[in-house]
Structure 1
Amino acid sequence: MTPRLLFRSVAIAEAITWGLLIAGMLMKYVFQVGELGVKIGGFVHGLIFIAFGITALLVGVNQHWGVRLTLLAMVTAIVPFGTIPLDRGLEKNGRLDGGWRHTRTGDPRDHTRVSAVLRWMLARPALLAGVLGVALVSIMATLLTLGPPGGAG
């Protein structure tokens, strides 16, 4: 899986889960048919929202986006369906071109500790997947412990 395919897949999933959450909110607040849609849509959206942030960070480091663009990509998930125009813009500007950086190149950006750690992790895909999975579950568990945005109401 290329950085482009991973990023696009999670960006689309993030947009779809926004739709699920909005549909759940309509069911609860407009049609007053209960809150199951919000609970399910909110949970799935939260999980994919966090996964998108992790994916944006991973792909941003791999693609040498820099801190500003990487943070912008992560924050874009806050806007409903915002990951789709972001993905299209990154594609149009060539920011998703290329594969995973398994080897160091002559590019000075490949000579940083962050790039070295990325290459080391890319050489161990099972470990990378495990670390990212643990990060996802840990963040989600922490947020569930803290409670829903805006309180339980």
Structure 2
Amino acid sequence: MQPRALFRTVAFAEAVTWTLLLIALFLKYVTKTTDAAVSIAGGVHGFVFLCYAFIAAFTWVNQKWKARTGLVAIVSAVIPYATIPVEKSLDRRGLLAGHWRLAAGREEPMGAVEKIQAWILAKPILAAVVVLVGVAAVFSFLLYMGPPDTWFS
């Protein structure tokens, strides 16, 4: 899967999980019918949010975006549905075009971050397992911490 397809897929998934979370919040606070949906939708959204942030950073490195562009891509996940217009804007400007430049037989990696990306591209299955374990660890820690509104009280 090339950068454009991967980024678009995860940006869309992030927006879909926002929908699930907003529906769950509506059920909890407006209709007062269930709290369970928030735990489920919140967990799914949190996991996809972390995956999106990783993929946005990974794409940022590959595409050599300016810092502002990369930060906007990552921060867009915080605002409901913002990943879609950000993805459309990046695509329209050609910032998602091309292949994985650090894949085998292409550019030589420069620096630690690019070397990690080249390793990931060379060993995608092992890297996916490592990334999923890492995201799951962060996700588990955040679940342990509880809802964000309780972190500082």
TM over 0.5: yes
- Residue by residue over 1:30-61, the C-alpha shift from the partner in whole angstroms, topping out at 9 and shown as x without a partner, is 10101112111111111111110011011111
Q: Distance in 2 between matches of 1:116 and 1:142?
A: 27
Gaps of at least 5 residues in structure 2 are: none
Amino acid at match of 2:107: R
- Provide the TM-score with structure 1 as the length reference: 0.90
Give the aligned partner of residue 107 of structure 2: 104
Q: How does 1:27-42 map to 2 (within 5 A)?
A: 27-42=27-42
Q: How does 1:3-152 map to 2 (within 5 A)?
A: 3-101=3-101, 102=103, 103-104=106-107, 110-151=109-150
Return the offset for 1:67: 2.9
Report percent identity of matched pairs. 40
1:99 aligns to what SS in structure 2?
coil
Return the offset for 1:85: 0.3
Number of corresponding residues: 148
- Provide the TM-score with structure 2 as the length reference: 0.90
- Residue by residue over 1:87-144, the C-alpha shift from the partner in whole angstroms, topping out at 9 and shown as x without a partner, is 0000000000001121216xxxx53332233112211112221221122101101101
RMSD: 1.6
Deviates most, 114-123 or 44-53: 114-123
Q: Distance in 1 between matches of 2:16 and 2:144?
A: 25
Deviates most, 39-48 or 61-70: 61-70
1:98 aligns to what SS in structure 2?
coil
